[in-house]
Amino acid sequence: MDFHKQDKGAYLFYKSHLKIKDSALFSLENYFYQKNPSKDLTGIKEQLEKEFGLYTSAKTTLNIKEEKEKIFPLNQILYGPPGTGKTYHTITKAVEIIDGQISPDYTEAKKRFDELKVKGQIKFITFHQNYSYEDFMVGIRPDLQNGQISYKLYEGPFKQIADRAKENPNNNYVLIIDEINRGNISKIFGELITLIEADKRAGNKHALSAPLLYQNEEFSVPNNLYIIGTMNTADKSIALVDIALRRRFVFEEMMPNAALLNKVEGFDLPGWFTKLNQKITAELDRDHQIGHSYFIGIETIADLQQAFYQCILPLLKEYFYGNPEKPKEIIPGFTSEEKLEGDAFINALNQNVKTDTDERMG
C-alpha cells in the first residue's frame, strides 16, 4: 500500500490507518518517503511510536526538529519550465518550514503565508537585471527632505530578515527569491555566497563572518534562515548557472505533469498536452516545455480557448521568435491569425495530437 500521498486525503489516510492525531501530522509524507523508500506500511506505526512516542514529550519535539532540518535544505532552488508551479510551491514550502506542517487546503496555506509575511518571518523578492548587492544586502541611498538631499544607510531584505532570525533563534525564517537567475547572482550575493553555506553559518563547525560594505561590523548568516529560489529554465539552463551557486544550493526539478489535468468536455487535454511538449522538446529542448499550471482550473472549451490564445500561442511565438514557421509546424491547425472557436478550435488542436513519430509510422 502506498503511503506517500500528496493529495487532500493524506491526512485522513494517516489518521485512519495509523491512528495519529491532527496535531501530530508533521511532514509524514516526507518522513515516510525518506525513511521507507520501499513504501511498505509494515511496522510503520510501531516505528513511529518507538521514535516519536505520542508526539507529546520534550524528546519528541527535539526529534521532530532534527527530522525537519533533514527534510528542508537551508538553500534550495526549484527549477523547471514556465508554468510548472515553482512559485506556488515556494508558498507551501515556506509555511511548512516555519510551522512544521501545512493545511492540505491551498487557500488556508496561502492565508497562513500572508500572516507570516506580515509578522516578518517570510520575505518574498524578485531578482532582475538591475538588482544589486546594495539592494539585497546593504548600501547607501539618497534621501530628500525639505528640498535637501542627504545620504542614508539602507538595509536590504536579506540583512533585515537575517537580523530578525538572529534575534529569534527559536523561530524559522524564509527568504524567497523568485526568478533568481534573472539577476547577476555572483554580484548580488557578494560575500554571502560563502556565508550561506550550511557549515559556514553562525555556530557551526566552520562558521565564518565577513565585514559588511559601508558598515564596520562582522556579519554571519544564522542557521534558522532558509533560502528558497525559483529558476525558469526557459530563461537559462541550469547548466549555465554559476558553479559556486550550484554547490551551495539543493536543486529540485519541477516538470510539466499531465496527470494534474482533466479532460475538458470530452477533449483529451492530458494527451494533447503531453504530445505538445514532446514536439517542443524535439524542436528545442526539455527546458522550454509548457507547464501544467496554464491549464489548471480549466473546465470548459471556452476556458481552454482563452488559455491557448492568451498564454500558449504567445509563448510559442516567443520561443521561436524570428522563425514564424516553427509554431505552425508544432500546431499545424493554427496556420492563420484568425481566432478559431468551438468545433473549429478543437479540430485545430487535434491536428497537433500526432507527433513526428506517429507521422512516420502512419
Residues 16-23, mean pLDDT to the nearest whole number: 51
Amino acid 55: pLDDT: 36
Average pLDDT, the chain: 81
Confidence of residue 323 (pLDDT cuts 50, 70, 90): confident
Amino acid 327: pLDDT: 82
Integer CA distances (angstroms), 270 to 45, 267, 330, 356, in order: 37, 9, 17, 18
What is the 3 state secondary structure string of 24-68?
A: HCCCHHHHHHHHCCCCCCCCHHHHHHHHHCCCCCHHHHHHHHHHH
301 pLDDT higher than 90? yes
Q: Which of 39-43, 115-119, 247-251 has the highest mean pLDDT?
A: 115-119
Q: How many helices (H) and strands (E) does the chain have?
A: 17, 9
Q: Are 256 and 277 in contact (CB under 8 A)?
A: yes
What the block records as the C-alpha cell of 60 is 519528541
- Cα angle for residues 347, 350, 352 (degrees, 5° grid): 125
* Sign of the torsion formed by the C-alpha atoms of 249, 250, 254 and 260: negative
Helix or strand holding residue 260 (H, E): none
Amino acid 12: pLDDT: 55
**Pick from 30-44, 175-189, 343-357: least confident:** 30-44
Calpha distance 228→171 (Å, rounded): 17
Domains contained in the chain, CATH given: 1-71 (no CATH), 73-253 (3.40.50.300), 258-361 (no CATH)
How far is C-alpha 136 from the chain's CA centre?
Answer: 20
**Pick from 70-84, 252-266, 274-288, 328-342: least confident:** 328-342
Task: Please give the residue that has the higher pLDDT: either 88 or 360.
Answer: 88
SS3 content of the chain, % helix, strand, coil (to 5): 50, 15, 40
Amino acid 6: pLDDT: 43
pLDDT, tens digit (0-9, with 9 covering 90-100), for 179-235: 998 898 889 999 999 999 999 999 898 999 999 888 878 999 999 999 999 999 887
Amino acid 222: pLDDT: 97
Amino acid 353: pLDDT: 47
pLDDT, tens digit (0-9, with 9 covering 90-100), for 245-254: 778 899 999 9
How far is C-alpha 282 from the chain's CA centre?
Answer: 26
pLDDT, tens digit (0-9, with 9 covering 90-100), for 330-350: 888 776 677 888 888 888 888
